Structure 1
């Protein structure tokens, strides 16, 4: 409790000699610095709000507008069509001034009104322009239409310079509601290869009945919602798909990411943690100040940035019926877990972020602390890994007051969590099981050494490897991938001159941040400029009944963990370079390869989920691309039969790839199938009406759930120049009990990582076997193109 006593700014005692007042100057300075930082954040928010409000204009454009109005007025030309005269005569107080002052004030008022009107017109016109989606359907390498060329020119002319993270938010269009007829047509087309004639005719009948009857009524309610909601899907998707789920979120919902496996800057885990934590806090500062550049496709179309808001200081709070996401205004600390104990570690002192060497210094104090965990503390996070209702009840009963509440607040209000693992993880092409273990450690760990409710937990292994485990409801994988890419690039770009890194030599790369980097012996560069605040050991008083709940939840977590079969396939035969030579989309190529691999493994096709983004629209998240199509099945069957020539097979492959790309474009531009059907289903539940068609559609299992991890969102590393900087991406647990979860990342010209998961309890699935089937399918596709 020494830290708690030291935090008191004033103390006094009453004696027979009078009142003695003691002032803790350090605490007073801490209060001062905290207040200063708070006001700085408020000023930044005000500044950003003003910047985004007038964007794409700038404050200088206001002066330019006033200058033009005044210049014409002084020249005797009334550009206001009588508005300036009207302002002079009707705005109170102006007519008391002399004529010159009266004219200048009226001109300034008119110029400001005109300036604001033009800004809002540009925003409105940009929103109309961003609704144009045909550019996406024009195949690359072919002639671009005149309409699209004109559209590009208009967007670039009207878009401002140096946008902030949220500058385009007001100009982004709303996600359109597709027609029921169009969705039914696309749905029936997607399930045709999976159903025989009898089942298809039955489904077609159900779809037509829904389209002609209940569908129109539900559509009207959904259209009404789309008029007033920023996005007609995202709030319901977050609530009903994520927050209302009562099953454990570990494995079932959370996802993971791993290191840049060919590069390891140091084998000192605390030094690696110091640099990566500092880099992540820099990223948080960029997000808070909106200095992070928004992602703009083809240097023309911006993506929605709303999901970045909840990346830090955010926790999922359990409830008996539904969870809720809580984001705290700011956090000046992180939570650190080590050997079963929790610590509160301040990351800001005396008005600045602590340097990496100072963070390493504090983490070393935690490692040197040989105290034992309190009763129930070591496995406490198993509560976040198990069933949500049990955790919600335990949280209310045992963590609502006293030291338990204070300690839980320290974890939940942290910027993010850090887990200092005692185990090492590594990568070796000759020992694939090492990478499998690496992935499993990041996906679930031991079931109690990750705070699964936190927006993300940074995991630092004992040999300097890192990874993360992220909660899914607050945002989708690309947002976390952006942070991860930034942190890893910041870390690896400061390795120092000619430093040996995993068997190869790195060139010296200079950047503006001198705090980052490593010394020759692998520690953080620099020396502490101040004595950092001591880590605060969190205190717990966990009663026996609560320990029993923790044990029960841990058993549930262990059962989940034991059922996970995870395999990380490193495909080095070829990568993006060869696929480009085939003049095929890499994503379409890999999706067709997955269809071929699954058909060979299972002897049939299955409903396939591929995640696509809808961030071209305001508050957009994801949409489903149904990758198992008529054309892809036709190609796979022809490939399996072996009766057609290579040219015929390539022609069918290209048709399948084009159909896949068409589905992907439809999903990105608001013409997807599944989010529309999902929202219609939610409306039906609100109205208390049943739909046999919707009930059947939404109960169909996704036996092959896939996702591509985005790469090079920051363009901070040239992978041609530094090919060893590739990141191995991340993955997720299986969605269906008898299916596979496959995440892949096209990491370089000659390498692709596949993260394959399934359940051991299913006799028909095997992650390693499916990985071998993927390798065989990829090799066969390569041979097909090379031989023709």
Structure 2
């Protein structure tokens, strides 16, 4: 390992704090960050020095005028950066080996800013460009072109006709309203997207809205108790670092970090018609679930001193030995959060808000930093079947060990292997991936691990301690009707989990290293393999979703990349045509990957069309417009939903050993008769794929398409064998 790489892997992504901030300290650094986020790249101290300088030499009698002149200069500098440096995206369309002069200048400015004024987590959020509003004609044309290969010729002709009518009638009016939204907001999509895609949904959160993350391929060297203690310690530091904005951002401030604050402390709150997200300041406690019993665990003492890993191990070990475990239906009380949202809203009010004692416990839960479940299972990754069970458990839990309203529910099994269940509405997968990568870097590469014998000895609490606050059990009071509702929710969740079909693939034959040598995009390669596997599985092409990144724009979430193109369809047809030559197939694969890469870049440049059409649908519904074109758009099912988990930090040395590859994550299939395919590259030597579908569907089978996908990997890569 090179010295530079070793130095990077050993660097902490945030400070090693020793104390939980008091009110005065938090007020101090939040005030500083308030100024920092409105003055960067000028530091607040230098701004005050400039005000003092102008006051002393220019306007000694008028401090307000000096302040105005100073801020005017900073305001001008920031706007120059906003509309030049932060707006420039030309490098996305250029080869790194042959950059234009504009890109060279931009890169030089980037190096200077990173060296002179390295941004904090949110220093640049207010300088990011607003998400552009595409021309209506471009959006409609791109959409109709994308549907050509997934619907019949007759349906496509009808779509063209309704699109023409849309452009000449209601589309113009709707676009004007979208333009007004674009004019007065930094992102004309996000508010609508969060409200109507997430918070207005009445479906249960697990499987449908939840996502999951898993850890490394290799065996864990920590006991369950010690791993939970280390997780409590690391994630408390991460939580405080996000609040202080000391969390190391990716992209040197060029990407939106607006939603990091939602990862810790907050909770989704169910409503009768629409949910909302409740953000809370950093909490001193987390929740630990052991054998269906919920405990409040403080991560610092009464004076604010953060507990060490060893001290937390004693606290966690003590709660596992207690005889106060919940019994009966109270073990399953968290299954209430797995219910449909309107029903959970009613039960939340009836059993918690209307009961003074339970209301206090609910506040403890919803304001906690995060949840950690100490599961009794022993997860393994030795076979596809074991890995699939592990991934399924991470995605849905068992109805007793997740509080699905919380953004992050971590879980550690009996043999120390862990993972996380995420709630998708307040943050996207990229932010959660960032958090998990930082944790793994610290847990597996930076912090030293005692032997398991030493861990057991460290965790012993021989006698009551005056300096440790032991875990506090959440003792729920029983209300009339609570048992029936808990059992109903638990049974419904159990059925949903049983219906979920997860098939995991740990493909170790090759990774992105081989694909790069072939001169093709790794992501494009996997997407083409998915298209080939799906066509062989279903005998048709279908509307396909891939998560696209638009994080270069302010307050952004995601956009849709549509992998089905003329080039991808030609490739699939050639692969199924026995008369097609290897050379022809290879050329078609290259062309399909190039088209896919270009489409991804267009999305990154803000030229996607799905979110634009979504906003027009919302506006049309709000104004009472009847639009056949938009009705068709909104009625189409995503039978194939895919996502490539990005490498956010490059901090995990995955190429040093197969044991260091990250296992990736998963999500539930969007459509009842569809597939959800989540994948990532494990360094240069592995591809991790997790496929979901539903047993109740007669059309899909996760294992079947998984086998087809592995075959497609080999067949497509084999085109370059000579």
Tell me the SS of whatever aligns to 1:259: strand
CA contact (8 A) 1:734 1:757 kept: yes
Specify which of 411, 434, 437 is matched with residue 485 of structure 1.
437
User: Which residue number corresponds to residue 92 of structure 2?
Assistant: 136
| Whole-angstrom CA distance in 2 between matches of 1:144 and 1:654 | 22
- Deviation per CA, 1:260-286: give whole Å up to 9, x if none: 1214122x1010111122111111121
C-alpha separation in 1, matches of 2:446 and 2:79 = 44
Report the alpha carbon displacement of residue 648 of structure 1 after superposing the two structures with TM: 2.0
Distance, in Å, in 1 between the alignment partners of 2:672 and 2:456 is: 45
Aligned mate of 2:370, from 406, 416, 435: 416
Determine which of 231, 236, 243 is the counterpart of 2:192. Answer: 236
- Given candidates 167, 172, 178, the residue that maps to 1:222 is 178
CA distance in structure 1 between the partners assigned to 2:393 and 2:314 by the alignment: 26
Give the CA deviation at 1:62: 4.1
> SS of the counterpart of 1:547?
helix
Residue 443 (structure 1) aligns with: 395
Paired with 1:613 and 1:445, the residues of 2 have a C-alpha distance of 29
- Between the aligned partners of 2:490 and 2:45, the Cα distance in structure 1 is 60
SS in 1 for 2:105: helix
CA-CA distance at 1:374 after TM superposition: 5.3
Q: Aligned with 1:468: secondary structure?
A: strand
Q: 2:76 aligns with which of 121, 126, 131?
A: 121
1:777 corresponding residue in structure 2:
712
Output the TM-score relative to the length of structure 1: 0.85
Q: How many residues align?
A: 696
Q: 2:664 aligns with which of 705, 721, 729?
A: 729
Is contact 2:37–2:124 with CA below 8 Å preserved after alignment?
yes
Mapping for residues 628-667 of structure 1, pairs under 5 Å:
628-667=564-603
Cα shift at 1:395: 1.0
Q: Give deviations 1:306-365, integer Å, cap 9, x for gaps.
A: 110111111111111111111112311111111121111111112221111111111112
- 1:620-661 Cα offsets, whole Å, 9 max, x none, are 000000111111011110111132322222222122111111
Match of 2:12 in 1: none
Q: Does 1:406 align with 2:406?
A: no
1:473 aligns with 2:387: no
Q: Is contact 2:240-2:282 (8 Å) kept?
A: no
TM superposition shift of 1:248: 0.8
Closer/same/farther in 2, CA of residues 62 and 451 from structure 1, 3 Å limit: closer
Pair 1:594-2:579 in alignment:
no
Tell me if the contact between 1:62 and 1:112 (Cα under 8 Å) persists in the aligned partners. no
Q: Name the CA shift for 1:524/1:617 in 2 (closer, same or farther; >3 Å).
A: farther
Which whole-Å CA distance do the structure 2 matches of 1:111 and 1:403 have between them? 55
Q: Does 149-158 or 205-214 show the bigger shift?
A: 149-158
Counterparts of residues 567-582 of structure 1 (less than 5 Å): 567-582=503-518
Instruction: Please show how residues 19-168 of structure 1 align to structure 2 within 5 Å.
Output: 37-59=22-44, 61-62=46-47, 84=58, 87=59, 94=61, 112-129=67-84, 130-141=86-97, 143-157=98-112, 160-168=116-124
- Secondary structure of 2:324's counterpart equals coil
Question: Hey, what does 2:453 align to over in structure 1?
Answer: 521
Which residue does the alignment assign to 1:204?
Answer: 160
Measured after TM superposition, the shift of residue 719 of structure 1 is: 3.1
The answer to whether the Cα contact below 8 Å between 2:511 and 2:684 also exists between their aligned partners in 1 is yes
Give the alignment's TM-score, normalised by structure 2. 0.92
Aligned-residue offset at 1:155:
4.7
C-alpha separation between the residues in 2 aligned to 1:126 and 1:139?
A: 24
Task: With a CA cutoff of 8 Å and minimum separation of 6, indicate the structure with the bigger relative contact order.
Answer: 2
User: SS in structure 2 opposite 1:352?
Assistant: coil
| CA distance in 2 between partners of 1:202 and 1:405 (Å) | 55
Moved more, 521-530 or 478-487: 521-530
1:525–1:660 distance in 2 versus 1, CA, 3 Å: farther
- Which segment is superposed worse, 161-170 or 525-534? 525-534
Are 1:356 and 2:292 an aligned pair? no
- Secondary structure of the equivalent of 1:486? helix
Unaligned runs of 5+ in 1: 1-32, 74-83, 89-93, 95-105, 497-516
Task: Indicate if the aligned counterparts of 2:213 and 2:664 stay in contact, CA closer than 8 A.
Answer: yes
CA shift for structure 1 position 114: 4.0
Partner of 1:13: none
1:696 corresponds, among 606, 612, 632, to 632
For 1:449-464, what aligned pairs fall within 5 Å after superposition? 449-464=401-416
Whether the 8 Å contact between 2:512 and 2:684 is mirrored in structure 1 is yes
- Matched-pair contact (CA < 8 Å) for 1:126–1:155: no
Partner of 1:553: 489
Aligned-residue RMSD, C-alpha: 2.2
Q: Summarize the alignment of residues 616-635 of structure 1 with structure 2, pairs less than 5 Å apart.
A: 616-635=552-571
Q: Deviations over 1:196-235 (max 9, x none)?
A: 3222111111111111211110111111111222211111
- Per the TM alignment, residue 598 of structure 1 is displaced from its structure 2 partner at its CA by 0.7
2:249 pairs with 273, 277, 294, which one? 294
- Alignment-derived partner of residue 394 in structure 1: 347
Pick one of 763, 768, 787 that aligns with 2:703. 768
Q: Deviations over 1:2-26 (max 9, x none)?
A: xxxxxxxxxxxxxxxxxxxxxxxxx
Match of 1:276 among 225, 231, 242: 231
User: What CA distance in whole angstroms lies between the structure 2 residues aligned with 1:60 and 1:39?
Assistant: 19
Alignment of 1:704-719 (within 5 A): 704-711=640-647, 713-719=648-654
CA distance in structure 1 between the partners assigned to 2:281 and 2:652 by the alignment: 32
After TM superposition, give the deviation of residue 190 of structure 1 in Å: 0.8
SS in 2 for 1:306: coil
Of residues 151, 161, 166, the one that matches 1:195 is 151
Q: Are the counterparts in 1 of residues 131 and 554 from structure 2 also a CA contact under 8 Å?
A: yes
Who is 2:10 aligned against?
A: none
